Amino acid sequence: MKSEVNNVLPQHVRRSLVKFGADLSIARRKRRLTGSMMCERLGVSKSTWLRMEKGDATVSMGAYAQALFVLGFGTPLAGLVDQRNDEQGLLLEVEHLPKRVRTPRHVPIPRGV
């Protein structure tokens, strides 16, 4: 049974995955690694590796992350959605700030200050 993931992916996401798979293939060949060598280092089957080189969305992120590591790219997924670089999230956070801040009436004011 074929996965429905590819049917629901936006076109630009599908294209970026295809490009990513092609880039993995190029990186592998630049390093003079065979497909079999990649399979062994990743711990995946030949068919999974071929799907990765095609940018298949049903392959796990872990397999893609491992491929990046094996090819010498380190761990680029670690900072991909870093909250410090989330401009949209920061804007949403600012929108929800209160207009003014008031102290509660029941809080006693310290004496001798």
| pLDDT of the residue at 103 | 79
The pTM score is: 0.73
Q: What is the pLDDT of residue 66?
A: 96
Q: How many CA atoms lie within 13 A of 107 on its CB side?
A: 5
Provide, rounded to the nearest whole percent, the portion of the chain with pLDDT above 90. 58
**Average pLDDT over all residues of the chain:** 88
Domains and CATH numbers, the chain: 5-95 (1.10.260.40)
User: Binning pLDDT at 50, 70 and 90, where does residue 1 land?
Assistant: very low
CB 2 within 8 A of CB 26: no
Q: Kindly state the DSSP code that residue 108 receives in the 8-state scheme.
A: P
Terminus-to-terminus CA distance in the chain, angstroms?
Answer: 74
Mean pLDDT of 62-75: 95
